[in-house]
Amino acid sequence: MYNPVCKPVYKPLIRLCGVHTHIGAYHILHGIDFEIPEGEVTVLLGRNGAGKTTTLRSMMGLCPASEGKIFFRDTAMEAMPTAEIARLGIAYVPESMGIFSDLTVQENMLLAARQARRAQDLDPERLNWIFSLFPALRKFWLFPAGKLSGGQKQMLAIARAMIEPRVLILIDEPSKGLAPSMVNNLIEALLALKAQRTSLLLVEQNFRMASALGDRVAVMDDGRIVFRGAMADLAADESLQQRLLGLSLGGHGS
C-alpha cells in the first residue's frame, strides 16, 4: 500500500509534495505526494470527482496549490504562472480539448507553435510525422476545426501539444467519447510519442488504454493518492482493480 512520504527512490521529472488545492470554498486536493518519471507514461486513475483533473490543473498553475511544493526537476514551480510553466516544455491537453472551432486546423497548429508565425515556419519533418500519426489532419488542414468529428478534434488537440518537442504532456481523458478504432489509433500515436522520450501523464477512464500505455499508475480517491506502483502489477491483479476502481480488466475493455 502507498506510503505517503515524499522521498522518491529515483530522480523524477515532476514531484508533488504535500499539495493541497482549494477551488473557492472547496478543498479538492488533500496533501498529494506524487512523482512523474522522465521518459515514461504515468496514468492517473480514479472515480469521477476524485481530484484527477485538479491535479493536472494545479501542475499547470491553472488551479494554484494553496499549500505544498511542485518541483520540475529541482525547480519549484507551484508559484509560476501558466505561461512560464509552458516555457519549461510542458503542454496540457484539457478534457475540453482547447481547440478553436472557427480557426482552421492549420491555424490551430500555428497558435500552438511558439517558434512559428507562418505555416512555412513549422518544422516540416515534425509536421509530416504528426500527419503520419493523424492522417485526417493533413486531409482537413485548411478546414475549420469545428467541422471535424469528435475523434478528429481530439487528435488535433493532441497534435497541438506535439507540434514542438515537449518534455512532458499532460492529457486529460484522451479517449473520452472515441470509438474503439480511434482509441487504437490514439494508443499507437502516444506510444510513438513515448518512443521519442516524451514523458506523458494521462488521466484516463478506459482501463484497456491505460494498461496498454502506462508504465506507472497512481490511483486517486477523495483528493488523495491511495495507490501507486507499476501499471503491469495493477493490470495483473483484478482483485486490486476491483478494490481501488470497482472494475476489472476483463470487464472494462472498451
Integer angstrom CA distances of residue 176 from 46, 47, 236: 15, 14, 24
Give the list of residues 6+ apart from residue 6 with CB closer than 8 angstroms, or none.
15, 16, 17, 18, 33
pLDDT at 249 over 60: no
pLDDT at 65 over 60: yes
pLDDT at 54 over 90: yes
pLDDT at position 106: 94
Cα separation, 81 vs 77, in Å, equals 9
pLDDT at 176 over 90: no
Domain definitions of the chain by residue range? 99-164
Count of C-beta atoms within a 10 Å radius of residue 215: 16
